Amino acid sequence: MPEATPRGLTRLAFGGDYNPEQWPEGVWHEDVRLMREAGVTMVSVGIFSWALLEPAPGVYDFGWLDRLLDLLHENGIRADLGTPTVVPPVWFYRAHPEALPVTAEGVRYEFGSRGAICHSNADYRAAAANITTRLAERYADHPALAMWHVHNEYGVPVSACYCDSCAAHFRRWLASTHGSVEGVNEAWGTAFWGQRYADFEDINPPRLAPTVGNPAQALDYRRFADATMRENFRMERDILHRLAPGVPVTTNFMTALSQCDSVDYWAWGREVDIVTNDHYLITDGRRTHVNLAMAADLTRSVAGGAPWILLEHSTSGVNWQARNPAKAPGQMARNSLAHVARGSEGAMFFQWRQSRRGAEKFHSAMLPHGGTDTRVWREVVELGAALDSLSDLRGTRTQADVAVLWDWHSWWAQNLDWRPSEDHDPRERADAFYEALYDRHLTVDFAHPEADLSRYPLVVVPALYLMTEAAGNNLKAYVENGGTLVVSFFSGIVDEHDAVHEGAYPGPLRDVLGLTIEEFSPLLQGENVRLTGPDGSELNGDVWTEFVVPRGAETVWTYADGLTAGHPAVTRHRLGEGTAWYVSTRLGAEGLDALLGWAVEDAQVVAPADLPRDVEVVRRAGASGTYLFAINHTAADAKVALAGTGTELLTGVRAAGRLEVPAGGVRVVRLDG
Ligand code: GLA
Ligand code: ZN
């Protein structure tokens, strides 16, 4: 698991993507002067610079990058140096047009944007290896070099290519994964609809077809595309490790963004030396700080609990959503410090100086178009000072209360076509359960379904359509040994090839939940069902219902109307030392809170008492002590109970017994003892 830290960085990371090639060198001197004023400790450079570094095939111009890295070093700023392989120069594409990716519809993309890459293309691989080698040879010993930033956000904007090279590569991947063409036929169930293959050569990517294609083929293609991007990452990483030993290698993730669900970050987390993440607020009317917390928790989890670095977020609005509101005063600091609370070793931004030209000129930056006499700049300077006062917490780990199961392969399978209801969105369930736990002030670790869960009193499964037998056994052992499990509907349905588990639903979960499901009965749009429960309590469900047959489980809430009236809606199964809950409909916030209330009691999870909604309290602990973060997202001052005494690090004030957190403010207490 990743444990490395950026070479020579002795403070938290604070800075951003720095693309100085947009300005004359005179501006660079103003940049570093202002970076020092703001307390910038590290910047990411060269991410998109291939066309400048290699202006013609085999012709290199490193002079400007030499001067830039020297300048950063003279000013005590560390460099996160990019390999520019996300945008090959136009000369490369003119020589190798087939390196441009092809869509499932057979359309080849053109040059002129970014990220237009066929990851199977041998010429691309050779050119990427070459520029990476040149950079590593030149800068391995440069004193500014803190870490390598390979590529940029693998998986977006193109998550898979459907060209002929990819087809050939896919066949090789299938051969090594399934052994034989018969293995593919078996796994994909090609006996259905007459899709049987006699030869690997006949198999293609899931290209445009008249109607729904083979789901297992589509699922395997997502795995193949992910694995192919990872091959290219490993290729670059191994060059960097060989030529620059000891310098950590990262590539920036986007863990919780449903728009970027094409990479399996569990697998990627094992490949990088330091996990780094990019997070932007999705301003769709929901509470943005909840999605932020979720992204940070997920990032820490793919890092195996180790510290990670927030490599990009925004000082204010972005420019790629339909509507891009500015951040409110204080919101940037709350965002940045919430990431730190949840394990980030700093807070970096896209980007340092706001662009005048190009696609992202309306995206906020640390140094806005308006210069230093702006609110954004003043808040950036304040944030730099705040982070500086938190330097000692480096290396400590965020403490989680509960686990939520998460698996990209299951999202991929579930999002294929022709399911019982298109209204069931597994990511919506993950968000909703996360939000319900957040509202109980519980800190969440995410876990792979086959991971060791024994240290968590409560494990929640919001939606896990694809589940292996091994995962089912894992959950059963977890409950038998005293764990409390909560499972939401349409989980444990198919195996790793999208084949329905044998026997009644939910195959690998039948024993642990103590029930079977005879039939799904999704609801029509706008349709609701009432549930009646203990002491006459009532809940509401929508989207989904099921005919649940208890086989050991007790019924806690019952459907009161609709087709499933009289049948169990929510059940509880005591098994061994533990308890397993099952909910067969889509509960709203109120229902989830009620359900989790019971489960939390079974699990004896103790949440911080008397905290107002949207006052976030998170702890990091380790060799240097215990740090309590309190982030007040509300417009009212709040009080947070403090066990013992400590020093508030942002103000230097002593705190005892309780902590005052001003409206919109953040407090970080280092506890005594
Ligand atoms: C991504 C990219 C950056 C920039 C930002 C803008 O995270 O990595 O280059 O485009 O988005 O939000
Ligand atoms: Zn391709």
Averaged pLDDT, groups of 10, the chain, 673 residues long? 85 98 97 98 98 98 98 98 98 98 98 98 98 98 98 96 98 98 98 98 98 98 98 98 98 87 96 98 93 98 98 98 97 98 98 98 98 98 98 98 97 94 96 98 98 98 98 98 98 98 98 98 98 94 98 98 98 98 98 98 91 97 98 98 96 96 98 93
Ligand 2 ion local residues (Cβ < 5 A): 118, 120, 161, 163, 165-166
pTM greater than 0.95:
yes
Phi, psi of 148 (to 5 degrees): -100, 140
Strand segments, DSSP code E, in 576-661 are 578-583, 586-587, 615-622, 625-632, 638-648, 654-661
Helix axis angle for 122-139 and 63-74, nearest 10°, is: 50
Instruction: Report the C-alpha gap between 303 and 173 in whole angstroms.
Output: 27
Asked if 556 and 543 count as a contact pair (C-beta separation under 8 A), the reply is no
d(CA 363, ligand 1 centre) in Å: 9
Centre a 10 Å sphere on the Cβ of residue 534 and count the other Cβ atoms it contains: 9
pLDDT of residue 285: 87
Ligand 2 midpoint to CA 161 (Å): 4
Q: Is the CB of 363 under 6 A from ligand 1?
A: yes
Task: Give the model's pLDDT for residue 673.
Answer: 85
Task: Choose, from 236, 312, 379, 546, the residue flagged as catalytic.
Answer: 312
Residue 21's alpha-carbon distances to 128, 225, 290, 530, 580, in angstroms, are 21, 32, 36, 61, 57
Q: Concatenate the DSSP letters of all residues of 481-521 into one string.
A: TT-EEEEESS-S-B-TTSPBPSSSBSGGGHHHHTEEEEEE-
Q: Give residue 257's pLDDT.
A: 81
Q: What would the DSSP string read from start to end of 163-218?
A: SHHHHHHHHHHHHHHHSSHHHHHHHHTTTGGG---SSGGG-------SS---HHHH
Is the distance from the beta carbon of residue 278 to the nearest atom of ligand 1 less than 6 Å? yes
In 3D space, the residue among 354, 336, 333, 335 whose CA is nearest the CA of residue 345 turns out to be 336
| Known catalytic membership, residue 137 | no
Task: Decide if 312 is catalytic.
Answer: yes
Q: What is the residue type of 650?
A: L
Pairing of strands 402-405, 444-447: parallel
**Percentages helix, strand, coil for the chain, rounded to the nearest 5?**
35, 25, 45
Instruction: Report d(CA 27, CA 34) in Å as an integer.
Output: 11
Q: What is the pLDDT of residue 435?
A: 98
Q: Which of 350, 351, 361 to mutate to test the pocket of ligand 1 (most atoms within 8 A of CB)?
A: 350
| Per-residue CA distances from 594 to 170, 442, 488, 583 (Å) | 47, 15, 14, 12
For residue 184, what are the contacts with CB-CB under 8 A and spacing of at least 6? Answer: 174, 178, 190, 197, 200, 203
Q: Which of 360, 364, 366 to mutate to test the pocket of ligand 1 (most atoms within 8 A of CB)?
A: 360
- Domains of the chain, start order: 13-159+247-395 (3.20.20.80), 402-603 (3.40.50.880), 615-671 (2.60.40.1180)
